[in-house]
Amino acid sequence: MLLDGKRIVITGGTGSLGKTLVKRILTGEMGIPKKLIIISRDEAKQHYMRMAYLHRMVATDEVIYRNFLNLLEFRIGDVRNYADVCSVLRDADIVVNAAALKQVPACEYFPEQAMLTNCMGASNIVRAITENRYPVQTVIGVSSDKACKPVNAMGLTKALQERIFIAANVLNPQTRFVCVRYGNVLASRGSVIPLFHDQIKNGGPVTITTEDMTRFLLSLNHAVDTVFAALKDAKPGETYVPRAPAATMVNVAKALIGDRKIPIKVTGIRPGEKIHEIMVSDEEAPRAVVRGQWYAIKSMLPELLEGTTSEPAALIKEYSSGDTVLDFKGTVELLKRHKLMIDDAINFDDGELLR
């Protein structure tokens, strides 16, 4: 199977996506890796994640930190630091770069910090592989819908990260660099649904920025499916985009509120925020092809298209969350299907996301 015997590195592996990705990898559904290394700079998140996997063992420091002999290994490090990146990539076969600054307002106020993590982090990965000739087989860059037609600092840095990885294929033909791009992930840390749940539990109001705002609704498992699909089928320089349902945020809020007497308050657009999520731009549409449940955006670099077969374009315009929006009933059904309604008593603490 695809991951059998592989050494896998996940940067930013203590985030919502990283934790779900780790959980899925450890099921063995894609094969049993030789090593799975989580590198991040937050020791507290690493501690709680490590404890969640070792909760049946005696939780002493000796047991907790003797994990370098285990399948799952934790390392403190930062993608901003070239030495840290070199150390962790030295024997890696597959790298998933999930380290990111992703909160739009935070990146607007601290764009240089977003650049250091989202751009220089990607550059350090490419540089480490290039300068040291590390035998890395595949690098997957985790991007965002905000990289498409970017209007904010977070999107600008993610767009540049995509370009850094895609261009890396030209001078590193021994390593395949690909990207995945998706929008709002249901129940991920800092996303809107946990915020709505918290506001409802505290009696409201539930805040939305504008009544016509739409978002793609993607589960964490669907996000991981996108990573697995790119790992399995993406060609060098391609970006995989899931075809996902979309809904208005006001319908999401109403669905979660249900019969409760809780008001909805319109607060206005936040700095750098879009009305609709765009996953594939008008300019990218002619290069987008269908791959199962995903669109694959081919690279614009001619060197990466030589020798590839011609595939019909799947889109004639941009792919936006405003194109096909679920009605209220469809929104409720989707949230229930993913067990995200408040009545399901889902707890969005970090530990719950691991179960």
Active-site positions? 146
Residue 103 · residue 154 · CB < 8 Å = yes
**What 3-state DSSP class applies to 311?**
coil
Say how many C-beta atoms besides its own lie within 10 A of residue 184's C-beta.
22
Nearest-Å Rg of the Cα atoms of the chain is 20
Q: How far is CA 200 from the centre of its chain?
A: 27
Report the run of H or E that residue 194 belongs to, with start and end. helix 192-201
> C-alpha angle 133/135/136, rounded to 5°?
110
Beta bridge partners of 247: 215
182: its two tokens: 């998706």
Q: How far is CA 56 from CA 49, 52, 59, 185, 245, in A?
A: 13, 9, 8, 30, 39
Q: For residue 119, what is the DSSP state? A: I
